[in-house]
C-alpha cells in the first residue's frame, strides 16, 4: 500500500486509548482554555484523524510563512497550506504551558484537545498579506476563503496537540465520517492496491459519476473512494446530509457492489484552488489512495483560478514531493451525438451545441420548481432527493418572508 506522506505510518493525534483519553480530559478541565475558531477546529479534527500526517500540531509563524511562500516547512517537509491556530485573544495563554482547546461548533464549547503551547506570535499585516496571497492567489475578500482566513485573528498559537474529540463529525455523520486510519484499514481489508479518490463538496451528477468510472477503467483501479467534505461551506452550497443521501443513492443503483467506498472528512472548505488541490492530494495519500481525480477548476470558486490551474500546479512540484498521482480530467458532459458522457476535449467533431449542459442556476431553479432535470444531467433517483431539498428551502423562504 502507498506510504503516508513523509512518514512510514500514520500519526493520528486522536487519543484512542480510553483510559488515557479520560485522564487527559480530566486534566484539561483545570487547564487554561482557548476557544478555537471553526477553521482551527477543523485542523484539529484532521490532525486527530491522521489526515495531516506527519504534522503533530499547529504550525508556528516561521513554518506557516515557509509553507505559504515555498510549500515546505522550515525542516523541508512538502506542505501546501499553513495549518495554523489563529486568534485575537491570547489572554491566559503562556508559552511552555499546556492548555485546553475548546470546540466552537458544539453547544457549550466542550474540550476537543489539549495543546502544549510552543509559541505565541503576533502576525504582522505584511505576513498576513503574504500568506493570504500565496495560498489563495488574491487578497480580494469577495473570495470566501480569503474572507475567512483574514479574520481568524492576529496571533499564531503553535504547538503539538492531543485530540480528545472529533467534534460533531463523528456523531452527526456516523455512517460517513471516517478517519484516515479507518479508510486505510478498510482498503487493506478489501485488498485494493490501485485506489482512486474523488473529492466532492456537491452531489454527484451523471458527468461526475462517469468521470469516476473513466478513472477506474483507465487506471485499471481496484476501487474508488468518494470522499466528501463534511465541514463548513459557503452560503448556497448543498448541506452535507443531502449530498450524502444523493451519493449513496447513486452508488447503490449504478455501481457494482464492493467497488466504491463512501466516506467523508471533517474540514472546512478553503476554496483555494491549486493549493487546496495539493492539500487534497496530501491527505488522500495519507488515507491510502494512489490516485486523485483532479478535474476542471478543482477546489475553485468564481473566476479566481484558471480551469486547469489545479492540474498544472502538480507539474511544478519537486521530485518526490508526493507519491500519490493525479488523474487529470477535462470537463465531462453528455454528447448528443454519441449518447454518452465524454470528456469534452476528447470528443472529436463536436460543436458546443452537441453537448447537453445546464448551468447551476438553471438546474437549481428546475429543482426548486419540482421539475426533474434531463436524465443525461442528473440521475432521476438523485434528482428526486434534490427536488425535495430545494422545494423545502423554497417553502421555508416563503414562510420567512
CB atoms within 10 A of CB 318: 9
The answer to whether 250 and 214 are in contact (CB under 8 A) is: no
* Predicted pLDDT at 400: 63
Contact 187, 280 (CB under 8 A): no
DSSP state of 285: H
Query: Which grid coordinates are listed for 352?
Result: 458546443
Is it true that domain 173-400 has CATH number 3.40.50.620?
yes
The residue extents of the domains of the chain are: 18-171, 173-400
Strands laid side by side in the 355-356 sheet: 340-343, 332-335, 355-356
3-state helix, strand, coil in the chain (%, to 5): 35, 20, 45
Instruction: Look at residue 197 in the predicted model and tell me its pLDDT.
Output: 98
What topology does CATH give the domain 18-171? Sulfate adenylyltransferase (3.10.400)
pLDDT at 147 (0 to 100): 96
pLDDT number for residue 113: 98
CB 102 within 8 A of CB 41: no
* Residues labelled catalytic: 201-202
Per-residue confidence (pLDDT) for residue 394, from 0 to 100: 74
Distance set, CA 23 to CA 29, 44, 96, 363 (Å): 10, 19, 20, 52
DSSP-assigned letter for residue 353: G
Q: What is the pLDDT of residue 362?
A: 86
What is the per-residue pLDDT for 399? 67
For the chain, which ranges sit under pLDDT 70? 397-401
Amino acid at each position: 500500500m502507498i506510504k503516508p506522506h513523509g512518514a512510514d505510518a500514520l500519526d493520528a493525534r486522536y487519543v484512542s486509548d480510553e483510559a488515557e483519553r479520560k485522564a487527559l480530559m480530566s486534566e484539561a478541565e483545570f487547564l487554561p482554555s482557548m476557544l478555537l475558531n471553526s477553521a482551527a477546529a477543523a485542523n484539529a479534527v484532521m490532525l486527530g484523524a491522521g489526515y495531516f500526517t506527519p504534522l503533530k500540531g499547529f504550525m508556528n509563524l516561521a513554518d506557516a510563512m515557509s509553507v505559504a511562500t515555498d510549500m515546505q516547512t522550515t525542516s523541508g517537509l512538502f506542505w501546501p497550506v499553513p495549518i495554523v491556530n489563529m486568534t485575537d485573544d491570547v489572554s491566559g495563554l503562556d508559552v511552555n504551558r499546556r492548555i485546553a482547546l475548546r470546540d466552537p461548533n458544539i453547544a457549550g464549547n466542550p474540550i476537543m484537545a489539549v495543546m502544549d503551547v510552543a509559541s505565541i506570535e503576533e502576525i504582522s499585516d505584511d505576513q498576513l498579506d503574504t500568506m493570504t496571497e500565496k495560498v489563495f492567489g488574491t487578497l480580494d475578500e469577495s473570495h470566501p476563503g480569503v474572507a475567512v482566513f483574514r479574520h481568524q485573528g492576529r496571533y499564531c498559537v503553535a504547538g503539538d496537540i492531543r485530540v480528545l474529540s472529533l467534534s460533531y463529525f463523528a456523531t452527526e455523520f456516523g455512517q460517513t465520517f471516517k478517519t484516515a486510519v479507518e479508510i486505510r484499514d478498510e482498503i487493506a481489508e478489501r485488498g485494493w492496491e490501485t485506489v482512486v479518490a474523488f473529492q466532492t463538496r456537491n452531489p454527484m451528477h451523471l458527468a461526475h459519476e462517469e468521470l469516476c468510472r473513466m478513472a477506474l477503467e483507465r487506471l485499471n483501479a481496484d476501487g474508488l473512494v468518494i470522499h466528501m467534505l463534511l465541514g463548513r461551506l459557503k452560503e448556497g452550497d448543498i448541506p452535507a446530509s443531502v449530498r450524502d443521501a444523493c451519493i449513496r443513492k447513486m452508488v447503490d443503483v449504478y455501481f457494482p457492489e464492493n467497488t466504491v467506498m463512501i466516506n467523508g472528512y471533517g474540514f472546512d472548505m478553503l476554496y483555494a484552488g491549486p493549493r487546496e488541490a495539493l492539500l487534497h492530494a496530501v491527505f488522500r495519500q495519507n488515507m491510502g489512495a494512489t490516485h486523485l481525480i483532479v478535474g476542471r477548476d478543482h477546489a475553485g470558486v468564481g473566476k479566481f483560478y484558471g480551469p486547469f490551474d489545479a492540474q498544472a500546479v502538480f507539474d511544478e512540484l519537486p521530485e518526490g514531493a508526493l507519491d500519490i498521482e493525479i488523474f487529470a480530467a477535462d470537463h465531462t458532459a453528455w454528447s448528443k451525438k454519441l449518447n454518452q458522457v465524454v470528456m469534452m476535449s476528447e470528443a472529436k467533431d463536436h460543436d458546443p451545441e452537441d453537448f447537453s449542459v445546464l448551468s447551476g442556476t438553471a438546474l437549481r431553479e428546475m429543482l426548486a420548481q419540482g421539475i426533474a432535470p434531463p436524465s443525461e444531467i442528473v440521475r432521476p433517483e438523485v434528482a428526486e432527493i434534490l427536488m425535495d431539498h430545494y422545494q423545502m428551502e423554497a417553502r421555508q423562504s416563503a414562510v420567512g418572508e
